[in-house]
Structure 1
């Protein structure tokens, strides 16, 4: 049986300030610091490594508070669990710059996420491994950010988990659903261009978004390639060069990100150290779909934590060779 949603926001951990002055609160729960034993007459012992941290990146139009239960489950599994809103969603919706009409993938990938990751690194210190965990669009943009920042110190991350995520290329949805998706993206593009925004809350898809986000999304529907207006970066080339650990989890009953769309997305990162899993209703103990997994995520949180710890140990072993 589904438990009631815990009451209240997660504690504020830090705040990221974006280049235009917009401030994004990062909320979460810290894992306990590892105990370090000091034998008599000796210096400090190395002790166990700090627990990994994971930053949850929301789906399009989904506020970070939707992931509070899942963050608590990640924390219960031994991780520092963090959440943040994408620009224009949740707590950031009323922030200065959040309604900029031209705001799109470039701003999120190249400005917002670097600022958020840097603020987390400053707050937690350099030791805890930091992973992104992206849901739907959050997973796609999380992979692009990780690829663009791979090896870049304060802006880089140690791995990416994607859950209920996939490319939105229309051909990845087959001959029946693909043409319908092409029509949807055309309607969204026209509407967002005419109105200067996408009124998704009223129309039942994607939440309220600036036209830039929806036009970048629609371009990927049509072409299958990730790009962003105004960006000098080649997102496809960056993804092809990604060498980080990636955990890719498909979800039973997910019609928004079927296995074929995940296949297309993962085909863009051939160099990543990939772990792939399928999360079932039997494992979750509840019915699942593109969003329902968030409210029944205990088993999935344990999977993510086990993967992060295993990758941390693998990295330490590799550094010691």
Structure 2
């Protein structure tokens, strides 16, 4: 579960970005940006944001990744940030549309950086979308990193958080259906979101399964066939994606070669960490990402 309070954080210096182009789907327009390396064959990391969190929030982490020699591509999820139109009554989409949008982003990257290996890095909901995309569209990326990203299935949470997650997700979905969209900007949770998205989210929270509205894809079966390298990073103090939740999501890709890491306050150098604050303290984490990408090129990974 995400909150849009993160979007109000200040934006520190970040490498200059260029607009690569627009991804269009019907009335929707998504602007794609890149912090590029001089070498066009440098690995490309596509950063897929969390629910309700604009791409600009990740500027400090983009800078960290860029310093590691990576080209970093950013964009806003459909219905939020710079993407148009914003989620509202009558604007209908769900997980499947976000997966299609990500595929369009990868089309654009393939055109601009044809020699660059491509990797997905998803935060929270963005990690779910990245992994689901990889399951549906095999061969498009070399690996997937999940940072503070886990299953929303209520039983994957510890203790009292089981009931809180179940009640909270179903209440949000019910309110979204009643109101015609989720006005998370008014409730301090998740930003403005389409009803279909919140219903897909709540269905997975309730059933543990990814059965997406309007999709004929058996995502649970497709996830079992994912074999690209998978990096999972849980974060100290993160109650929205605890280790048990991260493990439940990663276990769906049972044949992926998983590297599991836990990001602590000592490693980050921060006094406090959590579901969002790791973004402003991600230097050491960006080194993990770089090392993992380097290892993904080794023949032993693909043997």
* Common topology (TM > 0.5): yes
Contact residue 15 and residue 63 of structure 2 kept, 8 A? no
TM-score (norm 1): 0.86
> Which residue pairs with 2:34 in the alignment?
28
Matches within 5 A, 1:187-202: 187-202=171-186
Secondary structure (helix, strand or coil) at the match of 1:60 reads coil
> Which residue pairs with 2:119 in the alignment?
131
Distance in 1 (alpha carbons) for counterparts of 2:299 and 2:27: 39
Secondary structure (helix, strand or coil) at the match of 2:91 reads coil
| Aligned: 1:183 with 2:167 | yes
Q: 1:121 aligns with which of 100, 104, 110?
A: 110
Distance in 2 (alpha carbons) for counterparts of 1:196 and 1:214: 11
Q: 1:55 aligns with which of 36, 46, 54?
A: 46
Secondary structure (helix, strand or coil) at the match of 1:18 reads strand
Unaligned runs of 5+ in 1: 35-49
> Which residue pairs with 1:42 in the alignment?
none
Secondary structure (helix, strand or coil) at the match of 1:91 reads coil
Q: 1:297 aligns with which of 282, 294, 301?
A: 282
Q: Shift of residue 236 of structure 1?
A: 0.7
CA gap 1:297/1:28 in 2 versus in 1, 3 angstroms: same
> Which residue pairs with 2:233 in the alignment?
249
Secondary structure (helix, strand or coil) at the match of 1:219 reads helix
> Which residue pairs with 2:67 in the alignment?
76
Contact residue 16 and residue 115 of structure 1 kept, 8 A? no
Runs of 4+, deviation exceeding 4 Å: 7-10, 97-100
Q: 1:107 aligns with which of 79, 86, 97?
A: 97
Contact residue 28 and residue 71 of structure 1 kept, 8 A? no
Distance in 1 (alpha carbons) for counterparts of 2:82 and 2:185: 16
Unaligned runs of 5+ in 2: 1-9
| Aligned: 1:237 with 2:243 | no
Contact residue 93 and residue 99 of structure 1 kept, 8 A? no
Secondary structure (helix, strand or coil) at the match of 1:282 reads helix
Distance in 2 (alpha carbons) for counterparts of 1:164 and 1:8: 22
| Aligned: 1:150 with 2:138 | yes
Contact residue 64 and residue 83 of structure 1 kept, 8 A? yes
Contact residue 129 and residue 312 of structure 1 kept, 8 A? no
Q: Shift of residue 298 of structure 1?
A: 0.7
Distance in 2 (alpha carbons) for counterparts of 1:13 and 1:52: 18
Q: Shift of residue 200 of structure 1?
A: 0.6
> Which residue pairs with 2:5 in the alignment?
none
